[in-house]
Every structure is written in C-alpha cells, then in structure tokens.
Amino acid sequence: MVFIRTKKIYNQDYAYLVKNEWTSQGSRQKSSKYLGKVFSITKKTDIHKIEGENYHEIIKNLIKQELFNHNSQGFEYFDSKIILGRREVILSINEGFLCAHTIQQLLNFKPSNINEGEKLANLLVETGIKLTPEQFVELCNKIFPKDQNKKDHDIEPEEFYY
C-alpha cells in the first residue's frame, strides 16, 4: 500500500510517497519518492458544479473549482500538477493532498460500473476534493455507464454516498 506522509523539516512540511515493508523487526515505512513542499490553505467558499462532457473533463473542473474554493492565488493547475511559480507543490486541503500523484490516480481511474463508487470516493478524499452526498451521486450518475437491464439506473443519495 502506497500513501503520502509529511515530514516537518525546519518548520516546513514536505511530502513523500511511502510504502510499508516487512522486516524481521516488523513493519517499516520506506520513502519511495519525494513529492515536494506542502502548503496548507484554508477554504474560503464551497462551490462544486459537476460539469464536463466526460470523466476527465469533470475531474479537471472539480480540481479547478477546489483551487478556487481555497482562494489559492499563485497556485495553478497545469498538466496534472499543482504549480507555484515554476515548482511543483502539494496542497494540503480538506482531508487530502492535491498533488501530481493523487491527481494522476484520480485521472487514471476507469469508471466501469457503479460498484466502483467506493473506490472513486476514496480517490476524491485522498485528492482533497470534498463533495456533498448529493454532488457525489450526481457525479456517479454522469460518469458510470447506464445498466441496460435495469429500468431506473440513477442512484439516490440515501442509497450510496461516502
């Protein structure tokens, strides 16, 4: 299992991609990749519109909206990365980290059936994108293929949310 861990060095947080390994002394964490400097920014507004023609477009719009919601002046979303000036950075927002690694995981997700909704919810949380249950249901209804055998495929918020 690979996850992001922050390390404080001289009062500044830095993010690393970490995986657990078993040794004779038990489980140990091993850093596999340096991700960059972590910036924590506070949320100013909470606007999410599920807009786009396809899954990738919708996700990219959600990322841009999250940056807008956090009034992230100076930070830009470009080529699946968060950039400040000319450097790639990591934003600690909501309960996750918005960075190239989490964005790529989210963009590489292939929505094939509604049973993968939990995986999508986890990827959104890891990326720091926070949706209401109603917004998540709207997203699922847009991206998951319709089941031809079921008359009413659209899910209801009380049936499925994270």
Q: What does the pLDDT look like over 108-129, one tens digit per residue?
A: 998 887 788 889 999 999 999 9
Indicate the pairing of strand 87-88 with strand 26-40: unpaired
Per DSSP, the three-state class of 73 is coil
Per-residue pLDDT, 111: 82
Query: Does any domain span residue 14?
Result: no
Query: Does any domain span residue 50?
Result: yes
- Two tokens, residue 156: 């209801």
Query: Does any domain span residue 128?
Result: yes
Query: Does any domain span residue 48?
Result: yes
**Cα–Cα nearest to 46, from 30, 65, 29:** 65
Q: pLDDT-based confidence at 45, cuts 50/70/90? A: confident
| Tally of domains in the chain | 1
**Among residues of the chain, what percentage have pLDDT more than 70?**
89
DSSP run (H or E) holding 32: strand 26-40
Task: Read off the DSSP letter of residue 5.
Answer: E
Per the structure, the complete domain to which residue 51 belongs is given by 38-143
End-to-end CA, the chain? 21
Per-residue pLDDT, 145: 72
Query: Does any domain span residue 158?
Result: no
Q: Tell me the pTM.
A: 0.81
Which amino acid makes up residue 95?
A: E
Query: Does any domain span residue 56?
Result: yes
Query: Does any domain span residue 139?
Result: yes
Mean pLDDT (whole number) for 146-162: 52
- Two tokens, residue 20: 């657990």
- Two tokens, residue 88: 């790639």
pLDDT, tens only, 58-105: 999 999 999 998 887 888 888 899 988 889 999 999 989 999 999 999
Angle between helices 133-143 and 55-69 (to 10 degrees): 150
Query: Does any domain span residue 9?
Result: no
